[in-house]
Amino acid sequence: MELLLASIEQTASLVFRMGTVMFLSLFGVELLMQLGLMKYLKPIGKPVARLANLPSESALAFLAGIGSMIAAHTMAARFHEDGKLTDGELVVTGVLNTVPFHFKETLTFQLPIVLPLLGIKLCLIYIAAFWLTGLVKLGFVIGYGRLKIQRRVEGRDAFDTLECNPDNQDCIPRPLRQIVLDVWSARKNMFRRMIVLLGVVTLVVQLLMRSGAMQVFERLITPVTALFGLPPSVVGPVSAYILSPTVGITYMSNLLGGQIVTEFQAIVALLAGSVLMIPATRLRRTLPRYTAIFGLKFGAIICGLTTVLSMASRVILLVWVLVAVPVSTGI
């Protein structure tokens, strides 16, 4: 009973502290989006498309990706079906549509979730991993576009056809009270899931750590962790990370809090785990979604390209951490 009570007390403290930060960050970002402040990012769309020799339809789809990647992909597929995008332009646009995700995740995932769980230093490295992936993808799009895609003269700019739909809530002024209600409605279910997941995972981890159950796993995975010079205790969170980054990071946060691992060991383990997590999530979720939108051929190509680029970015950052950060000094 004493073990259970101690675990519950530690879990409650952690959930309250992190839940407060998650609430403020999650609903704060949603409020900014509801107020329409994200629209000021739109001027970057056309220059990026021009650099890659892509038509205005690609720029329009790319900007849709700031709000929803699925909306961006659906728009690009429709342009391709209408003959406004060639096969090559469709593939490059599909990769380009994923770029905003890696920067938007700073506001929607890294700051509200990673920061309170791992602290500022590890959060910055985690943010760097996402930003690097976005820049690598952007570099691929521009390089491939300039080398392989012939810039064509457009008779009509895709942006000229845009009209404000009266049914769209962005076209109708809303009082602040309604905006706040819309923010709560948009994010309340996600916040509840986050808190429940945080509480359950933290409680289970606390019970396992305090009962000594983790020692069983430590004896089994020593040869694996020895490759990076990591303690066996990181295998649990790495395995969890492959299935769910939030669960893995929460698990690792508990190990950090208990001083079982150092910050250096934690970030190396998470970066190594992310290299394995990327193809696992692409096969489980992304590939079916992409083939449904783009068709089997182009869906597989776009999914394959984004997977390779994402994995390469994580490997680059992992190597940098291993080489640039002395193990003895930590981070």
How many domains would you assign to the chain? 1
pLDDT at 204: 77
Q: Average pLDDT, stretch 82-102?
A: 93
Q: What percent of the chain has pLDDT over 70?
A: 79
Give which of 238, 219, 215, 203 is closest to 318, Cα–Cα: 238
Joined together, the tokens standing for residue 210 give 């305090």
- Whether 165 has a pLDDT exceeding 60, the answer reads no
Question: What type of residue is 4?
Answer: L
> Where does the pLDDT of residue 139 fall: very low under 50, low under 70, confident under 90, or very high at 90 and above?
very high
Confidence of residue 52 (pLDDT cuts 50, 70, 90): very high
Is pLDDT at 50 greater than 90 in this prediction? Answer: no
More confident of the two residues 307 and 257? 307
Per-residue pLDDT band at 205 (split at 50, 70, 90) = low
pLDDT value for 224: 58
Residue 123: give the domain boundaries.
36-162+212-324
Residue 14: inside a domain, yes or no? no
Q: Residue 135: what pLDDT?
A: 96
pTM of the model: 0.72
Most confident option among 105-114, 132-141, 216-225: 132-141
pLDDT band at 17 (very low <50, low <70, confident <90, very high): confident
pLDDT value, residue 228: 78
Statement: residue 88 has pLDDT above 80: yes
Residue 158 resides in a domain: yes
Q: Is residue 180 part of a domain?
A: no
> For all residues of the chain together, what is the average pLDDT?
80
Mean of pLDDT values over 131-143? 96
Residue 4 domain-assigned (yes or no): no
What pLDDT is stored for residue 174 in this prediction? 74
- 238 in a structural domain: yes
In a domain, 277, yes or no: yes
The yes-or-no verdict on residue 209 having pLDDT over 70 is no
Asked whether residue 180 carries a pLDDT value surpassing 90, the answer given is no
pLDDT, residue 162, reads: 45
Tell me whether residue 330 is in a domain. Answer: no
Lowest average pLDDT, out of 29-33, 299-303, 312-316, goes to: 29-33
The reported pLDDT for the residue numbered 236 is 81
Domain annotation covers residue 189: no
